Each structure stands twice: as C-alpha cells, then as structure tokens.
Structure 1
C-alpha cells in the first residue's frame, strides 16, 4: 500500500500551526510538570516537618509532666517531710537533690514569697510567676525561667514548712526539655523551635523563617510552651490543582504535543469524504512570526528611577530645639516646622542610619494638610544622605511601623501630629527596629546644629501601597467566632480609610462614623482620651443598637472604647482584659503599664499569673522598656497598646481593636457584660491643665515639695519615675508633664467618692501655689 493511499501531505499552514501548537503544549507540559514536582517536594517537606514537630510536642509534654511528677513525688519522701516539719529547708533540699540526679538546685520559700518580692527584678519575674502559679493552683507546675544569669527549666510545687504553707522550687538544665528537638531530623531549609511566649528556648534549621513559624505551631499541653515550625514559601500549584493534578495534566499535554508534532511533520490521514482545502497564501514560519512581532512591538519603557545627579545644597534653616521632645519631634507648622526643617531632620536621620549601616527606610503620613510638604522635605533629606526611601503614602502610623517589618526596611518615619491640634505636625522615628526617644531625639538636633550630616549619592525613591497587606496580615490571624456590630469613629483622622475595611475583614459589621479623612477635623478632635470627643460615638452606638463603639486618634495608634450602655471603658481596664488573654498563653509574662493606670491593674495581672511593671508614659519609652524586659504586652492610659505576642510590639490602635473584638466575640456574655466585670473604682479621666511656663519645671517643684518631711504627702508611697504619683491605702493621684503639648496632666482614683475628693483637693491646693493667681485650675 502506498503512502498516498493511507494519508496525504498536510498543507503548509497546517504544518506551521502544528509546530506552533506543539511548542506551546510542550512548554505548558514542562511548566505543569515542574510545578507538580516542586509542589510534591514542598508537600513532602512540610509533612516531614509536621511529623518532627509533633514528635517534639509529645516528647516535650512528656518531659514537663515527668518533672512535675518528680517534684511532687519527692516532696512526699519521709525524710523530706521530716526536715520540712522541723523547719530545716536546707536538709530537705539536700535529701531531695540526692534522689534526683538531673536537678541543679532545690530551694524552699514560705508562701508570702517576701524575699522574692523584696527585689522582684533581681529574683526574676518569670520565676516569681511560676511560684505564684504553683501556690494558686495547688499543683506542681513547670516553665522556662531566668534563674540568675541563666535560662533554665524551673519546677515548683506547693509544700508545708513548720506547719505553714510554702513552695518548693527545683532548677533543671534546659536539655531536659530540648533533648528531642536537638536530635530530631529537621528537613533541609525548614525551621523548628521550642518557644515560650516570644522566647526561643531552642531552635533548629533556617533561622530566617523564625518570624513565620507560628503558623504551624502546636501547643505543648498546658505548659505555656509551644513548638513552632516553618517551611520556605513554595507558593501554590497553578490553579490550585495540587501536585498530582499538575503531574496528570502535564502528561495529557505531553500526549497532545506528540499529536501536534505528527501533524507538524506533514502527514495527515486522508479523510473519507472531506474536500481538499484550497491552497492559501504562503504563511510565515514560527521563527518569522516571532521576528515580525518583535519588530512591531513598541520599544520597552524603562522603569522610572530617581535621578542620581548631585542634589542641590539644602538651605540654612533656623531650628527650634523645643520641637525635639522626649519621644518624638512635634511642633507648629509654618513656624517651628517647614519643609526645609523636615529636610534637615531627614538628613540627620539618614546620617544615623549610615553610621549603623542601614540603607532602606519607609516613610508615611497622616491626613493633616501639612503632610505632603513635610514628607517631601523629609524624603529630600533622607535621599541626600544616600538612603533608599519607600513612600507608603497616607496611612496610619502603625501601618508605617508594619511596613518597616513587612518590606524588611527595619526603619521608618511617620509624619504625624497624632492627636494634637490641626496646626501641629511631627515625626515618629524608628531606626533599625528601635523607636528613637530621649537622647536619641535630642541627638538629631545636635547633629543638625553642629553640621554633622552625612552626604552621599542620592538614594532611590519607591512608592508602594501596603494597606492591603496590613489588613490581610491581621485577618489571617484574627477572626471573630461570632459577628459583632461596632461603630468605628476615626474623627476624620487617617484611620478612617483602613479601620472599617480591617474590622469587616475579621468578621465584624461596621458602622463608620467620621471616617472621611479631613485634616481640619471638622466634627470633633481625634483624641479618644477626652470623654467629650466620644459623645457622638455613644449616641451612634445607641442609635444603631451596636455592640460596641471604637474610637481612634488622628494617626490610628490609640484606641478608645464605649459600650452599648454609653460607658467609657478607660484603657487601663482594657489592658486588664488584654493581659488576662495574653497570660493564658504566656504564663509569667511581663505586662508593662504607665504611671497613669489604675492601682487595681497590678493585682489583676498578678492574679492572672503575670508580672506587672509600672513605667514612664510615652510610646517610645514603653517600647524601649518592652525590649529591655522582653514583655509580651504593654499599655498606656492614653490608649496606646503594645502587643508583642502575635504582633510586632509597636503601638497599634487598629490591631488592638481587632484583638479586643476577638476576645469579646469568644465570650458567651455580651461585650458590655464582659467589660463591666473588670475591676473598677471611682476615677477621673486624664485632666489637662494648660500652662504658660515649662510644665516639667512646675512638676519638678511640685515633686520636691511633696518629698519634704512636713509635706501633706508624708503618709503616701511616692513614685517619681514620671512626675509625682502618690498612693494611699484608699486611692492615688498623679501629676506629670505632657511631652507633646505645654500642659500638666493629672489623674485620680479612689475606693470611694470621699477619698477621691480628698486626694483631688490636696493636689489642687499644692498646685495652686505654683501657678499664677489667675491661672484656671479646674480639677
């Protein structure tokens, strides 16, 4: 049989189409095959890591339980019991250690833990919280603690000594917990760690994945430990087909490619009844088609890049040293702050970065009318110092902080006046992950005044939107167990754009109030610490029968809350709720609060197994103290909340709102009922008294007089870390100087109204003598 009897030569255009189709099918088959193989390997690696993680979880839980059991059982030894009954803890410890070869030290304390509380910082807050937990649960408990200069496994259990309640403590090496993690096989390129809170007890593998490791974490029983795990992001298979789907599709495409090659070879089966196709005009080959398309295509446009020409010298400017405050830069626009001043500040920040070897920085601004000009000057100065700038546009301050982490810049500047009047603006600065404050802020002024400014080839400038990434990051972690209806009042501040979108993304029904960004703040001032600014929110919550009202300040880093009943929930009470939630997962963790917070907060944190610490007011000062103490949570009476657990440790009113709704949605009670259960007393909001002179000088004189022997404050416990706080048995009062505006800030709290009046009158009387006779003083 001849060839002409079984088939015929395909026309040229069919051959060309067959070749083109074959090439496309081969490319697609190769892509799907490669994707399937990659996904297969990624799935296998993740499964291997999950198996290793679960092995570590089981072994660690068993190790913790074994050590808790060991201490409880050894305390029942007759010799140990006899020694304790005779009030001889040293002999009891010696006997107990002799029967327990792994233990490094055994100690006993009476239940009041007086030696520990005498110097809690030196004793160790985590170790103190462990002992308190053993006493409160009346059971043996274990945790990773700082013991002196070392990190160890601590085990504590209740005991009896000389007939009185006591607690026993045993210190063991960390290998007791980490033996399995140290030996388990960790897949190449992945990460596995044993964590307590944000502290890595031990870790293996690719440390660069540490930040995303909680996505695959598993709790180790109720020990407060967890095993965190992460694999490199391998993406997902095309069209969500999975590994097997990609491989099957690759095979099908390969078969189709072979058929197309048969057609391209020129042979076609002779059709029984089909008519011959008319010969068409000669068509270009595949190669000719590519050449023609390349010739016809428009010339590529290069991405816009900043000019690398030498910048013009910045003009001399007059700097007011008063704008360089304790924890940010803040001043009046047009007199103290201009675009030229901003450029100098930018060059000074860039000079600090250059000395630390940092190149990239994020810049954003709030909705104030002066923002664009000041950002322009700031960027000019940063680039003059050779820094690469990523401009994220008009966003809340916490989004700038987030972008510094998300874009791996490590540094950021938010141009914001926060809650100050519309004619104010300023700069909140982070360099290398550290918020500048105190001497670092005044050091910028000194650097500018002395001309110690770095110059280099201009850095690059890139605009990038991160708002959606910010919302997605939070929504991936926080979702409400049941929907809540909330009113979000942005006070026409910059949070108005993102807050409703974020709250809806986590599952809330949102009624927006004053969410149109307007730098003149036409409706009310964006300061939720002032009860008068919450009146419209209270009425709107009642009007829409909402579960809760949320208020944000001008740049979105502070949160205010009102209930359906119209009650204002002060931030120090909110901090109680946050602390109880965080301490459930991080027993013994430190919680920091500022001097303006309720006196009931310390006891509440202790009763929930935490370690309270009072500190100075100021967002940068709090963040610095958090880094120093490794605290998991902090808060200020002004409405700043700092979550290190599950977040980055910066103050974020939007994220705090999400965490609040998460807690409330998980309770059976209504939000109002949950918030009403928090300990409360008779208290005032922040009281602000404007002064003409230096508020710090007035507070200094007030504190000095209060510490004299014949002072009316003689019977109170005085705290002077930030102003003067005087605590009596039935209440307390505070006077401090604001670091943002020329005002005195006061607050009072007491067990009853009579005590509150007495303390307020005392402060009023003492302060009156330090102010001009005609100065208003309404406390």
Structure 2
C-alpha cells in the first residue's frame, strides 16, 4: 500500500509517541505474563498442598484407628475380661498394657475415677475428661490431652462385665504416634501443614507465616477429633480479572502489537531526524530504569507544651495507666509516657508501634503527646485513629509490630483517660507499669539521633473481615446493640452484621461526653434502656459494650441480665468440646459454680487475680484456651489472639446461640445460677482502697467452714456461698460481690461481711 506524503509525514512525526506506546505495551505484556505465570505456579502449589494434606489426613486416621482397634481387641481378650470379672482392676490394667508397642501407661479406673481426681493437680484434667467422655458416649474415644508435663495421645473405653459398667480403660501413648505422619510427608515450599485439635497445634511444618490462615483449607481426620490444617500465600492478583492462560495469550498479542508500533516509522521509509535519533529506541526504553524519588521528608515532631501538671505516680496502676485529664494527665504527661514506652522498646530492639484511641474528647491531645514522646525515642508510630481497644490489639498482630498503645479511659467517667500498653507481645502490668514512672523520674529516657516517623492506617475493615471469615451464625438472630456512645458504636454493629445477625443500634453515635448513660455494662442500671429496646423490637438478645469495646454485657428477651461469669460457663462448654482438658482462667469475682461447671465439661479451672493484663499473663503461662472476668472481659485463645475483646466475644456468643434449636433466652436461662449480687462499688475513705483491704485481710475472722483466699483481696468461700472484698485498680473504690445457694445464705454471708467491715471502719458507706 502506497502512503501519501502527508500520511508518511504524520507517521514519522509521531515516532517518539509510537515508541513510548510500544514500550508501555511491552511493560503491560510483561505484567500480564508475570501474573499468569504466578497463577499457574499458585495452582500447582495448591494442588500439591491439597494432595499432601489429604494423604496426611488418611495416613494419620489409619494409624490412630489402628490404636483404637488394638484397645478394643485388648479389652475383649480373655485375660482382661477374667480380671474384670474378678473385680481385680490392677490385674486387668496389667493385661491391657502387656506388649503394647510404645505404650506409656495403661490403667483401668473405677467409674468414680477416684485415683485420677486425687492426682489431677499433678497430671491435669485431660485424662479425666477423656475417660468421662468414653463412659458418657459408651464407646472408645481418642483425644490428645495434657497428661503430666506434655501433651499425649489418650485412648479411653468403657470397661464392662456383661452389661454392667465396672470401670473405664485409659491408655496413654506418646504424641509422636499421632504426628508421625506429618514428619513423613514432603511439604511444598512456601506452604504450611499442621495437625490440630481445637485451638491447639500438635505439630506443624513449613512456613509459620501462613499458620493463621490454615483453617480455611483444614480437613478432618476421620474417626478422631483431629484435623489437618493447610496454609499457603494468598492467591496472586489476576490483572483485569484474567486467569492464567488468558493472561499469557493477551500478553503475546500485546507484544506483537508493540513490535508493529515500534517498526511503523521505519516501514514508511523516512530517515531518522536528529530529534528522532535522540529519542530512545524500544530496546533502550525497556532498559531504562525508572527514576525514583528517594528523598523522604521527615515529619517534624509536634511541639508540645511542658506538662501543666506534675506527673503523679498514682496514675501508674496494676495493669495500665489511668488518670483524670487536667489533674493528673495532660499532653505533657502523655509525651513523657510515650518517651518512656519508646525507651523500653529501644532496649528490646522494637521499632514500630500501633496507636489508637477511644472517643473521649481528650483523646486527640493524649495521642499527640504520646506520639511525640514515642518519636523522640526514635519509634515509628502507626496511628489507626479512633477505634476500640480490641482493634488496637488486633493491629499489633495484623501489622506485625508486637507493640501497641490504646489511649482510653475504658468504662471510667468522661474526664478520665489512660493508656493500655503492649510491648513485645506482652501487656504491661505490675512492675512493668511502675517502671515506666521510674524511667521518667530517674530520667532514664532514650532520645534518638533523629525522630521516628508517623503514618496513618485504617484497619477497621481488616478486623471485621478477620472475624467474619471465621465466625458465621447458622440462623439470623435479631440483636439490639447498646454502645453507650462509646467507640464500639461504629464497628461493633458492623461485625455482628457481617457474621449474619440483624442489628438494631442503640446509642451507637460516638460521643465522648456519654450523654445517654455511662458505658459500663457491669452496672445493671446502665442496661435499663437496652432491656426496654429488646422488648420493643422483640429481639433475641441485647448486647452492651463498654466505653472502649473490650467488655461485654448481655440481656435476654425476658429482661434478665446474664452476668459474665454465667456467660463464661457457656463459652467454656463450647471451647471444651474441641479442646478437652483445656485450662479455663477466671477471676476472683466469678461464681463458685463456675469451677464445677468447667470440671463437668472436662476442663481445668483456674481462679486468678482481676485485671486484663494479669489474666492475659496467666493465660500465656498456663496455655489457657479461654479466660473471663466478672467485669465482662473475655479472652479467647482458641481461634483468636488471647486478648480481651467484647466485640469478638459477642460474635462467638451469637455463633453458639444460633447453633442451638432453643430460643437464646432459654439457652442462657438454663445456665447454672444461684442468688448473687452484681459488683458493689463502695467509695474508699481517703481514696486508698488497697490500704483498707490490707487491714481487712489482716483482721477479718470468719467461722462456719469458711475457706479464705487472698489471691486478690479477700474471698471467703462457705459451703453454701461466698463473699469478696477487693480494691479496684482503676478507680478509688472497694469492690464487693456475694453469691449463695439461697437468699437466706446470701443475707447471712453479706451480713457477716458488713459487720466486720464496719468494725474496721464505721464510716464506710456500705449500701447493704
């Protein structure tokens, strides 16, 4: 085809534009080809991992079923049957374990499990739980339990003479018998495989970065309570939504088009002008490195005014920092606190920290001061804005900093504010908190040569998606959510709607003055509006959050306030279904019925001090799967991160209730209950409740089979109830609670405490 001079001239004049366009097409083609290749690699990796996972599940299942079959065969053998018929459990136990490969122990217990309970403190409750399950279900069962100092493979089976149950066989094998298959498989690169029971990982291999997402590809090991979890990197992005093969085909077409465009000026026959010669060729354009703007402007540290108030050591509490703005807290004090936290991080080699705040009016100033102090110590601050405290904790995991500070006054009055601090994955408490004050007082503060940076991130959607990806309700429930104008008012309803609930919001507009009622669900009078709205909307349940969203309150359709210790019973039974023998931690304010409830469901109960950081520390120490406090803090180690989260606890509650055929009010009403009081808060004369409690512990005397405990304050358990006096670590008040089997017993116990408290200080303003 012959081109006109005008056309030829236009083509030649556009030479540079055509070559640049060709270069862009080549880059786009390379991007498409790369994403296509990545998708092909991902598909191959997923197929290999799925094949390996399924093979592991089958081989593990066969090995464990063989052990169960061996147990049934041994129990049916003549020596065991003869010994059982003679009532000789010791001889039956010896015959059961004779010549069993890799056996650690074999015992046939009596039906009361007397010996097992007698040694539970040393061996744990796991073996009791599996034995109880075998007798309850009337068949052989197999669990992994903690027996002694480590997890073991436990088998149990009812022991019968004819149709009469005379005992239960318990066989203990090394954990290696269950996990041997995992050691034998070839785990593809950049993937992860784990053998799990409930929230406990028995063994794993591969890249631990994919452990958290491994449940999405988990498959059960048939005939056992185990499962094989498999994790791998997220699917690569598909450019323009194209799959692997279409991406490569389109890339080839673009390369061909780029070649034509780059050659077009030459094809029209015009010699290169000086300008054209100076322009880069296609090859040169591809070889050119992009110009990067490496200059980074450092955001200056915000200048803050000197502290207008002297720093008060009293704001450094047992498990956080808490004070009154304008009296013991201001922007200057916040800066010193940030500088102290940053200095601690420097000593531990930690660089990044997440900071978030609740909806209090003083929050922006407190964050500004805190951030300035952290940056002085050279720390890089990630500001996630106004979010509940659990979202701040979540940010430390999601952004992999291991450090965070939630600027919050929690459930305290509007003029309070404070700091909940995590450094290196541990919530600061006790001496670690008071050491921050010591650093400031002794001027042991590290100042970096140049200030750290500050960035802003929004992780609210990540938090919602993480919960909704794991928790979904089986049927829709209608719930009224009362945030008390606290910071959970926006994201709390979002989470519950994302898991499938229908939410009616109440006081969910965030307002740091808390105009409707105080955001403390542990006070029954703060739930009055919620009870009324649940009835008005004919809702299944009422959910209440505190000021920073880490505590949960619940009321039923009938208007009953379900105290948190009873909710913990429901959570414990659910968790123990998947984690027999697990440790469940609860604080000293919880009902005495909780211990028996946990034991009946095969768990290991542990009472501990009140305080979110103290509970979390005890959970790490004991590897507990669940913990709870009477104040409404719930800590899930199973399927979650172990921090207190009222929003996540609400989601788990709805998951449990929606899985039951009964009405939620009926399920909650069926939980063991007696006669109990809510938390009774009494202003401490002189503002020092700890001194009063110390005197009370030293002087109080109780009779009638009383069993005192001084874990936290003084708790006295009687055969028919208990009473407690302790000092609050957040406000200058005494906290009392009473619980009994009957109103008569409650009145008696409460009266004894009243008499002895007034003998200690006649001016105590006791409301009973």
TM-score by length of 1: 0.90
Residue 151 of structure 2 is matched in structure 1 by 151
Shift of 1:627: 0.5
Q: Are 1:778 and 2:760 an aligned pair?
A: no
8 Å contact 1:9–1:266 — kept in the other structure?
no
Deviation per residue, 1:317-337 (Å, 9 max, x gap): 733222221111112222222
Q: Report matched runs for 1:613-652 at 5 Å.
A: 613-652=606-645
CA–CA separation in structure 2 for the residues paired with 1:165 and 1:702:
50
8 Å contact 2:35–2:247 — kept in the other structure?
yes
Secondary structure at the counterpart of residue 444 of structure 1: helix
Question: Relative to structure 2, which stretch is displaced further, 523-532 or 9-18?
Answer: 9-18
CA–CA separation in structure 2 for the residues paired with 1:444 and 1:222:
53
CA pair 245-674 structure 1, distance change in 2 beyond 3 A = farther
8 Å contact 1:209–1:231 — kept in the other structure?
yes
Deviation per residue, 1:669-711 (Å, 9 max, x gap): 33222222222222221111112143223223333444x4xx3
Deviation per residue, 1:66-86 (Å, 9 max, x gap): 222222321232223334555
Secondary structure at the counterpart of residue 643 of structure 2: coil
Residue 109 of structure 2 is matched in structure 1 by 109
Question: Relative to structure 2, which stretch is displaced further, 141-150 or 87-96?
Answer: 87-96
Equivalent of 2:499 in 498, 506, 510:
506
TM-score by length of 2: 0.91
Deviation per residue, 1:97-137 (Å, 9 max, x gap): 33312212223433333344345342123333223323333
Q: Are 1:141 and 2:141 an aligned pair?
A: yes
Question: Relative to structure 2, which stretch is displaced further, 615-624 or 749-758?
Answer: 749-758
Shift of 1:638: 0.8
CA pair 260-413 structure 1, distance change in 2 beyond 3 A = same
Shift of 1:189: 1.5
8 Å contact 1:11–1:266 — kept in the other structure?
no
Gaps of 5+ in 1: 269-281, 292-296
Q: Report matched runs for 1:279-294 at 5 Å.
A: 287=279
Residue 374 of structure 2 is matched in structure 1 by 382
CA–CA separation in structure 1 for the residues paired with 2:411 and 2:108:
51
Question: Relative to structure 2, which stretch is displaced further, 43-52 or 223-232?
Answer: 223-232
Shift of 1:9: 11
Shift of 1:10: 6.1
8 Å contact 1:20–1:286 — kept in the other structure?
no
CA–CA separation in structure 1 for the residues paired with 2:436 and 2:24:
60
CA–CA separation in structure 2 for the residues paired with 1:236 and 1:150:
43
8 Å contact 1:10–1:267 — kept in the other structure?
no
Residue 667 of structure 1 is matched in structure 2 by 660
What RMSD over aligned residues (CA atoms) do the two structures have, in Å? 3.2
Question: Relative to structure 2, which stretch is displaced further, 718-727 or 557-566?
Answer: 718-727
CA–CA separation in structure 2 for the residues paired with 1:222 and 1:760:
52
CA pair 167-428 structure 1, distance change in 2 beyond 3 A = same
8 Å contact 2:409–2:418 — kept in the other structure?
yes
CA pair 316-250 structure 1, distance change in 2 beyond 3 A = same
Equivalent of 2:694 in 688, 692, 700:
700
Q: Report matched runs for 1:344-363 at 5 Å.
A: 344-363=336-355
Question: Relative to structure 2, which stretch is displaced further, 89-98 or 669-678?
Answer: 89-98
Shift of 1:528: 0.5
Q: Are 1:100 and 2:100 an aligned pair?
A: yes
Equivalent of 1:721 in 707, 711, 715:
711
CA–CA separation in structure 2 for the residues paired with 1:509 and 1:643:
24
CA pair 30-739 structure 1, distance change in 2 beyond 3 A = same
Shift of 1:261: 5.8
8 Å contact 1:197–1:632 — kept in the other structure?
no
8 Å contact 1:189–1:232 — kept in the other structure?
yes
Q: How many residues matched?
A: 754
8 Å contact 2:331–2:369 — kept in the other structure?
yes
Question: Relative to structure 2, which stretch is displaced further, 522-531 or 537-546?
Answer: 537-546
Q: Are 1:322 and 2:314 an aligned pair?
A: yes
Secondary structure at the counterpart of residue 350 of structure 2: coil
Q: Are 1:180 and 2:181 an aligned pair?
A: yes
Deviation per residue, 1:278-303 (Å, 9 max, x gap): xxxx9989948999xxxxx9997965
Q: Report matched runs for 1:349-498 at 5 Å.
A: 349-457=341-449, 458-498=451-491
Shift of 1:249: 2.9
CA–CA separation in structure 2 for the residues paired with 1:445 and 1:418:
21
Secondary structure at the counterpart of residue 685 of structure 2: coil
